Structure 1
Amino acid sequence: MAKTPSSEQVQVNFRMPEDLRDRIKAAAEQHNRSMNAEIVATLAEKYPPKFIDAEALAEFLNGLSCSFIAENDEEAAENREYISKVNDLLSKTKHPFTVEIDMGMIKLYPYPTPMKPAKDDSK
């Protein structure tokens, strides 16, 4: 883990149970680092920075758009169902957004997919 300059660090004081301190101390010794470094590494793993790998996203979206050119109505329905599932999963993330594919063009919206009213089949 790269060292952060002290001017970019904050000091945090908190209490913890003694047995937790002992476990942190043992883990720090096992990893040949200070208890502070062990705590910072553990927190950094649990709370990674928020970023998007633009290259991976571009590859995914390119593959997605190429595979969504439907040959018939059945394929088009399957594609819409797949995108619906993708958007449902995205809506459950910490930073939801919506994917829409129209005529091979991918659109990303920085908000969750709006809930669509259920179809009334009784008519």
Structure 2
Amino acid sequence: MAQESESRNLDKVIVRLPDGMRDRIKNSAERHGRSMNAEIVQALEQVFPPEPDIIEVIDRVHQAINQAEAAQSLPYRKGLIAALDKLSERLTSGIEFNQARTSTLSPSFLRMQDFTLRHERWKRASENGIETSDLAREIERGLFGKLDRNYTWTAIDYFKEGRADLAYKLLRLNELKFADPSDAEALIVSHLRKRYEENWGDPDEPYEPWSD
């Protein structure tokens, strides 16, 4: 009875299989000694594994950093450590950045302290929003570096018309929360206008995006 109750609580999805696939699933299930349902679930688990939470991802990055530091003979060790460290910094922040601190503590302690601070800053950004100084540094790192003329001009125009929600959606920032929305918007608009002027001319001149 307990199994029947548990089965009723499971999600059920009706799937239309193409010709021949049912037989392939049945044959595979028989080879592995599983039911067809278990075989399908196993296949789906491989294609759609559960996403790790932020703490699990950070732990894996830190383990990879420690392993890279121990591998003294690898010629690309320094580059690998730098790349992993940058990834850790991005993961822990929302749009977060290393903040230099002067200290006489040991390097290993400083590294652990830095990881802890990053996690604390990530929590703070999640609760209170991304600080404008962090946004500015991310912009310097190339946050909008791949925007072409069409996207840049359209985003500027949206801001100009007071439709910041559409601009943020276009820039894929609509799910982010800023600690000071007005300062963040002013910074983004200023950067976009400067980028447009440097590459395509006056952003206030008429332009038909995607016309070419």
Tell me the TM-score normalised to structure 2 length.
0.33
CA-based RMSD: 4.5
* 1:31 positional shift: 0.8
Q: Which amino acid aligns with 1:16?
A: L
For structure 1, list consecutive stretches of 5 or more residues without a partner in the other structure. Answer: 66-77, 119-123
* 1:16 positional shift: 1.1
For structure 2, list consecutive stretches of 5 or more residues without a partner in the other structure. Answer: 67-77, 102-109, 131-136, 146-212
* 1:52 positional shift: 3.8
Moved more, 100-109 or 21-30: 100-109
**Number of matched residues?**
96
Q: Which is helix-richer, 1 or 2? A: 2
Partner SS, residue 42 of structure 1: helix
Corresponding residue for 2:14? 13
Partner SS, residue 20 of structure 2: helix
Query: Does 1:43 find its partner at 2:44?
Result: yes
- Distance verdict in 2 for CA 1:98–1:45, change over 3 Å: farther
Corresponding residue for 1:75? none
Name the CA distance, whole Å, in 1 between partners of 2:30 and 2:10. Answer: 23
Query: Does 1:82 find its partner at 2:82?
Result: yes
Corresponding residue for 2:188? none
Aligned-pair identity in percent equals 25
Q: Which is strand-richer, 1 or 2? A: 1
Whether the aligned pair in 1 keeps the contact of 2:65 and 2:85 (CA below 8 Å) is no
- Distance verdict in 2 for CA 1:114–1:7, change over 3 Å: farther
Name the CA distance, whole Å, in 1 between partners of 2:43 and 2:139. Answer: 37
Larger Rg: 2
